[in-house]
Amino acid sequence: MYEFDWSSIPGALPFLVQGMYISLEITAIAIVVGIVWGTLLAMMRLSSVTALSWFAAGYVNLFRAVPLVMVLLWFFLMIPHMLESIFGFPRGSDMRLGSAIAGFALFEAAYYSEIIRAGIQSVSKGQMAAANALGMTYGQSMRLVVLPQAFRNMVPLLLTQGIILFQDTSLVYVSALADFFGAAYKVGDRDGRLVEMLLFAGAVYFVLCFTVSQLVRYYQKKLKTA
């Protein structure tokens, strides 16, 4: 039977809190950028301009075809240096956080755009036609009529995707960035207490994600009764 020794946790708390901050930072930025860029992609995908809809379809399918771990590796090891050589950017030194955020945001945008596309399509076509009939432009009817309704229906799905994203931030281990999981792992590795630290990390993730998913459920119920 394995002997558990939890003594590493108290001393590591400041480092773990710092790691949690990084996890939340990546999650928050990736959600915001992902939703904005995802909305644009969804609108391009649905637009009648063939080039735009092809671009959006290609983008979404490319990012959905490759494992997140590989995307993060590309963003960490290759893409910054391609950009440097093409645009002559100054050579930065610590790209870890920046590349992780960029990788996550662009990757999640592909997933968000699919949710948003479904959301836009769920608003009945008559609404668009009615808005047009009232003399609204395409942009106005999207912004004032279709998107507000679509987003209201999509909020639970978008938040659920956010929970998945938060869990996926643990994959930044590929760039040795100390997010919450990475911090717990590093402490465990240093002290020879991997099992204890990862059980602890798992418990923290569970409590946080469970709480948020219950809030989503509550919101969903309210939405249905409203």
Tell me whether residue 2 or residue 225 sits nearer to another protein (CB atom). Answer: 2
Is the separation of the CB atoms in 169 and 104 below 8 Å? Answer: yes
Q: Residue 38 carries which side chain, given as an amino acid letter?
A: G
Residue 149 CB, shortest distance to another protein, in Å, is 17
DSSP annotation of 95 reads -
For residues 188 and 183, give the distance between their C-alpha atoms in angstroms, rounded to a whole number.
9
Q: Which is nearer to another protein, 148 or 202 (CB)?
A: 202
Quote the least distance from Cβ 105 to another protein, whole Å: 18
Of 136 and 153, which has the nearer Cβ to another protein?
A: 153
| Nearest residue (CB) to another protein, 141 versus 175 | 175
Give me the least distance between CB of 135 and another protein, in Å please.
30
Min separation Cβ 55 and another protein, Å:
7
What residues have CB less than 8 Å from 187, skipping those under 6 apart? 8, 12, 15, 16, 193, 197
Nearer of residues 39 and 161 to another protein, judged by Cβ: 161
Closer by beta carbon to another protein, 30 or else 171: 171
| Residue 171 CB, nearest approach to another protein (Å) | 7
Binding site for another protein (CB under 8 A): 1-3, 5, 11-12, 15, 54-55, 57-58, 61-62, 64-70, 73-74, 76-78, 80-82, 84-86, 88, 91, 93-96, 163, 167-168, 170-171, 173-176, 181, 186, 188-192, 194-195, 198-199, 201-202, 205-206, 209-210, 213
Closest CA to 182 of 26, 64, 66, 10: 26
Nearer to another protein, 136 or 155 (CB): 155
CB 71 within 8 A of CB 107: yes
Q: How far is the CB of 176 from another protein (least distance, A)?
A: 4
Do 16 and 184 meet the contact criterion of CB atoms below 8 Å apart? yes
CA proximity to 123, closest of 183, 43, 202: 43
* CA 170/CA 205 separation, integer angstroms: 10
Let me know how many helices (H) and strands (E) the chain has, helices first.
10, 0
User: Measured between alpha carbons, how far is residue 41 from residues 52, 80, 102, 106, 113 in Å?
Assistant: 9, 23, 16, 11, 6
